[in-house]
Amino acid sequence: MINQRQRILAFLETAPSGLTSHEAEKKLACARLAARVSELRGLGHPIQDKWIYMRNRYGQKVKIKRYFINKADLT
């Protein structure tokens, strides 16, 4: 059985746009993406992040993190 960390890692390795916590909950059934990313980093995976701005459901501008892996880091 595949666990959350494995699903997240597989997604990040194939998705050039990365992953936000909202996307992780919808696509991977993971409610605590930051915690899983921290665990994966602790295991040596080269996951990076950047702050992005988007609008929430109320139209307010919010700042969230997008996690990603650079393809150059996988070689």
Are 56 and 74 in contact, with CB atoms under 8 Å apart? Answer: no
| Domain count for the chain | 1
Give the residue from 34, 35, 20 showing the smallest Cα distance to 66.
Answer: 20
- 52 - beta bridge partners? 64
Please state whether the predicted TM-score (pTM) of the whole model is above 0.95: no
Residue 66 in this model has a pLDDT that exceeds 80: yes
SS3 15: coil
Q: Which domain holds residue 68?
A: 4-74
Rounded Cα–Cα distance for residues 30 and 51 (Å): 20
50: CATH: 1.10.10
Indicate the DSSP class of residue 71: G
Average pLDDT, the chain: 94
